[in-house]
Amino acid sequence: MAQRLEYKLFEAMVYIHEGQFPGVEQLAQKLGCSRRTAERYLERIRLVVADDLVYNRTRRGYCFKSGKLDLPAFRLTEGEAIALFLGGKLLDQCRGTPYKEHVAEALRKICTYLARDVTYADVARPAGWISFAVGSLRGDEEQVLERFTRVHRAIQDRETLRVVYFAVYRGGLDQREIDPYHLYLHSGVWYAFAHCHTRKEVRIFALDRIHSIEGTGRRFERSPDFSPQAFVSDSFGIERGEPVDVAIRFQAAPARYVRERIWHSSQTVEELGDGGLILRLRVGGLGEVRRWVLSYGAGAEVLAPPELRDAVRRETKGLAEVYRHEG
C-alpha cells in the first residue's frame, strides 16, 4: 500500500513486529503519547495490514499473525539502504550531538525493511568502504553535547536563553539573553545563530565558548525572514562582516589547486599568461581570508582591499622577526 505513514506510526509497527506484544498502555508509553493516540495508531495499522494485526490473549498484546511485517511500500533497494547507512555514518561523525544512539537505532529499524533479496551484509559492507573526514571537534565533547542539547531544545520550544559567553574580541565573559534560531557545524565547531537582546541583531555564538546556560521560561517569535543560508552567504567561512571586494594573485604552482575548487559563490577567475591567476571574491569577514592567504605563503599576494593587504603585510613582517635569528 502506497500510503505514507508518519514516523511514530512507523515506530509502532516496528515495535509490534519485533515481538514485544505491546498492549495499548505499553504502546502509549513506548511512543510517548496518550492511550487514545495509541489506539488511533492501532486503527491505522489495521488499515494497512488488515487482519494481519491480531490481539494475543495469552501475551496480552498485539502481534502480526503472519509473524512478519510485509509492507512493499517500505521496501528499500540496496542502493537506497546504502545511502541511508552512509548518511547515518556521516551524522555519527558529527561529534557533540546527541544523535549517536538514535542513528544506531534507526539503522537497526531500516534493516527490517530491506528487500527480501538484500541482507544487512549487502548494505553494511559497501558502507564500510567509504569514510568522511569531518574533523575533530573543538572544545570538550561532553560540554558541547550538553550545550547542543539545551540550545536544540530551546529552538524547538522557542525559549529565550540566558548565557554567560566568552567574548574573544575582548577576552572576557559577557552575560547575554539570546533567542536561538539555528545550529550550524563549521570546521569542527558548533555554532548557534541567535538573536542577541544586547546587540539587537542575530549573532553567532560558539557552543564551546558558552560557560553557562539556563532557560528564562520566556517564549520568543522567530523572525520569518531569517534564513541560515542567507545569514552566512557573504562569509568566506563563518565570520561575518560588511562585504568587500577581494582580489588575490596566485602564482602558477598554487593556482593549480585554487582553480580546482569553488571557494565562494561570488568568485571569478582571471587567468594569467604565466600560469597564475587572480581570484576575485566579494566577502564579509576578512580574518578568515587573511589566514587562508597566509597558508599559501609567498605563492599568494593580496591585491585588494588595502586593509587586507596591510593585515597580511603586518603578519608576514611579524613572522620575519620570529625567524630572523636562528638558534
Task: Give per-residue pLDDT as tens, 16-38.
Answer: 887 788 898 888 888 888 888 88
Residue in 148, 144, 166, 164 with CA at minimum distance from that of residue 156: 148
Name which of 91-95, 156-160, 214-218 the model is least confident about: 91-95
Cβ proximity of 139 and 207 under 8 Å: yes
- 82-87 long-range contacts (CB < 8 A, ≥24 apart) are 82/123, 82/126, 82/127, 84/110, 85/110, 85/123, 85/124, 85/127, 86/127, 86/130
| Average pLDDT value for the chain | 85
CATH architecture of the domain formed by 7-73: Orthogonal Bundle (1.10)
Gap between the Cα atoms of 233 and 12, Å rounded: 41
pLDDT at 287: 94
Name which of 131-140, 175-184, 300-309 the model is least confident about: 131-140
Name which of 114-118, 237-241, 277-281, 312-316 the model is least confident about: 114-118
CATH of 244-322, one of 3.40.50, 3.30.70, 3.10.450, 3.30.2290: 3.30.70
pLDDT at 1: 31
- Whether residue 86 is predicted with pLDDT greater than 60 in this model: the reply is yes
Q: What is the arithmetic mean of pLDDT over 36-45? A: 85
CATH number 3.40.390 is the correct assignment for the domain at 141-231:
no
- Whether residue 196 is predicted with pLDDT greater than 90 in this model: the reply is yes
Q: What is the CA radius of gyration of the chain?
A: 27
Cβ proximity of 193 and 181 under 8 Å: yes
With a CB cutoff of 8 Å and minimum separation 6, the contacts of 172 are 166
Quick one: cell of 197?
537582546
- Whether residue 147 is predicted with pLDDT greater than 50 in this model: the reply is yes
pLDDT at 13: 82
Higher pLDDT, 156 or 119: 156
pLDDT at 68: 63
Domains 141-231 and 244-322 share a fold: no
pLDDT at 214: 96
Q: What is the arithmetic mean of pLDDT over 237-260? A: 95
Gap between the Cα atoms of 313 and 294, Å rounded: 10
Q: What is the arithmetic mean of pLDDT over 167-172? A: 84
Identify the residue whose cell numbers are 600560469: 275
Query: 159 by DSSP, 3-state: which?
Result: strand
Domain ranges, ordered by start, for the chain = 7-73, 75-127, 141-231, 244-322
Amino acid at 280: R
pLDDT at 4: 36
Cβ proximity of 69 and 17 under 8 Å: yes
pLDDT at 164: 96
Gap between the Cα atoms of 130 and 77, Å rounded: 19
pLDDT tens digit string along 270-316?
999 999 999 999 999 899 999 999 999 999 999 999 999 999 999 99
Q: What φ, ψ does residue 159 adopt, rounded to 5°? A: -105, 135
Residue in 233, 267, 185 with CA at minimum distance from that of residue 258: 267
- Whether residue 125 is predicted with pLDDT greater than 80 in this model: the reply is no
Higher pLDDT, 300 or 78: 300
pLDDT at 120: 61
Across 105-114, 129-138, 169-178, 206-215, the highest mean pLDDT is recorded for 206-215
- Whether residue 325 is predicted with pLDDT greater than 80 in this model: the reply is no
Q: Tell me how far CA of residue 273 lies from CA of 189, 251, 252, 263, 278, in angstroms.
A: 40, 11, 10, 22, 11
Residue 51 — pLDDT band, cuts 50, 70, 90? confident
pLDDT at 163: 97
Higher pLDDT, 208 or 326: 208
- Whether residue 59 is predicted with pLDDT greater than 50 in this model: the reply is yes
Q: Tell me how far CA of residue 308 lies from CA of 121, 277, 304, in angstroms.
A: 54, 18, 7
Q: What φ, ψ does residue 259 adopt, rounded to 5°? A: -75, -10
Quick one: cell of 61?
498484546
pTM score: 0.69
- Whether residue 3 is predicted with pLDDT greater than 70 in this model: the reply is no
- Whether residue 129 is predicted with pLDDT greater than 80 in this model: the reply is no
